[in-house]
């Protein structure tokens, strides 16, 4: 990419992702710089990152925003593309980056996602907590900053906003057990955030959100067209606020 007048860094933040990391980095091998942030990793992720000639930052960060910002600070590119270990850059996106970034104004770009769930690309029923349909993961240096928060922190974006057509493939969950583990992790983080912010939802509001989220995923976003996969995604969406509510009160009871 340097030959085109700009330097592209690809940033991957991972924790014990040896099953995904190699394929992720291989899809980004065209970048001028690979930066891998390993947060408390104890598996073979470091060796995989070294094998891909990536720069490595190892440490322990209490929340998502802090480790993301630490990784961004390590990138030297004019443009930075953030990937999770379970994501892959498509050939179409690679080619589009080479064509459009040399003349792009400073800012950020929204990239579409193809979310794969239980072995299939699922087109309907996605919500923010299952897997986004698109997100601003490409940005010029200084145009993105992550806020605090254990799960889904607020993100500050600056400059021109654009959209790309090339996609990122996102392999969300390989099976229902993985989906349930992710639900438990998200709800635990959300419960801690709610207690830290002093924003404990009421039981009535929680039940309302459960129903509305399920219906939005299954009917409005047409998850019903995806068979049992769509039903599973809708249940995930609906159970998330309920499990968060339960975990909030579990934590409060432990503290007395």
How much of the chain, in percent, has pLDDT values that exceed 70?
A: 96
Residue 167 reports pLDDT greater than 80: yes
Tokens representing 181? 């583990």
132-143: pLDDT as tens digits: 889 999 999 999
Report the pLDDT value the prediction gives residue 151, as an integer from 0 to 100: 66
Tokens representing 193? 């955030």
Report the pLDDT value the prediction gives residue 54, as an integer from 0 to 100: 98
Residue 128 reports pLDDT greater than 60: yes
Residue 35 pLDDT grade (very low, low, confident, very high; cuts 50, 70, 90): very high
Kindly state the average pLDDT of the residues 199-218: 95
User: Which domains does the chain carry?
Assistant: 2-173 (3.90.550.10), 176-254 (no CATH)
Report the pLDDT value the prediction gives residue 204, as an integer from 0 to 100: 96
Question: Please, which residues have CB within 8 angstroms of residue 110's CB and are 6 or more apart in sequence?
Answer: 134, 135, 136, 161, 162, 163, 164
Residue 2 reports pLDDT greater than 70: no
Question: How many CB atoms are located within 10 Å of the residue 189 CB?
Answer: 19
How much of the chain, in percent, has pLDDT values that exceed 90?
A: 86
Report the pLDDT value the prediction gives residue 13, as an integer from 0 to 100: 96
Residue 3 reports pLDDT greater than 60: no
Average pLDDT, the chain: 93
Q: Which own/partner contact pairs does 173-176 have at CB distance under 8 Å and 24+ positions apart? A: 173/117, 173/118, 174/118, 174/119, 175/118, 176/118, 176/232
Report the pLDDT value the prediction gives residue 118, as an integer from 0 to 100: 95
Q: Which own/partner contact pairs does 57-63 have at CB distance under 8 Å and 24+ positions apart? A: 62/150, 63/148, 63/149, 63/150, 63/153
Report the pLDDT value the prediction gives residue 127, as an integer from 0 to 100: 75
Residue 211 pLDDT grade (very low, low, confident, very high; cuts 50, 70, 90): very high
Residue 256 reports pLDDT greater than 80: no
Kindly state the average pLDDT of the residues 2-28: 91
pTM for the complete prediction?
Answer: 0.88
How far apart are alpha carbons 84 and 95 in whole angstroms?
20
- Asked whether the beta carbons of 147 and 112 are under 8 A apart, the reply is no
Report the pLDDT value the prediction gives residue 5, as an integer from 0 to 100: 76
């Amino acid at each position: 990419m340097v030959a085109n007048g700009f330097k592209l860094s690809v940033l991957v933040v991972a924790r014990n992702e040896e099953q995904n990391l190699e394929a992720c980095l291989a899809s980004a091998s065209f970048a001028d710089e690979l930066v891998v942030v390993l947060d408390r990793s104890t598996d073979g992720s470091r060796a995989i990152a070294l094998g891909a000639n990536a720069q490595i930052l190892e440490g322990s960060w209490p929340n998502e925003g802090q480790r993301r910002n630490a990784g961004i600070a390590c990138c030297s590119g004019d443009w930075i593309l953030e990937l999770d270990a379970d994501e892959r850059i498509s050939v179409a996106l690679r080619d589009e980056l080479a064509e459009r970034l040399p003349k792009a104004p400073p800012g950020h770009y929204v990239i579409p996602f193809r979310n794969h769930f239980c072995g299939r690309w699922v087109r309907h029923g996605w919500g923010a907590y299952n897997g986004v349909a698109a997100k601003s993961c490409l940005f010029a240096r200084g145009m993105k900053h992550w806020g605090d928060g254990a799960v889904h922190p607020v993100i500050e974006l600056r400059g021109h906003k654009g959209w790309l057509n090339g996609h990122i493939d996102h392999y969300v969950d390989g099976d229902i057990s993985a989906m349930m583990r992710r639900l438990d992790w998200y709800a635990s983080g959300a419960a801690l955030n709610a207690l830290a912010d002093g924003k404990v939802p009421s039981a009535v509001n929680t039940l309302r959100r459960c129903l509305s989220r399920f219906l939005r995923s299954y009917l409005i976003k047409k998850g019903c067209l995806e068979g049992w996969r769509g039903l599973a995604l809708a249940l995930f969406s609906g159970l998330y606020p309920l499990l968060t509510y339960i975990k909030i009160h579990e934590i409060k009871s432990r503290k007395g």
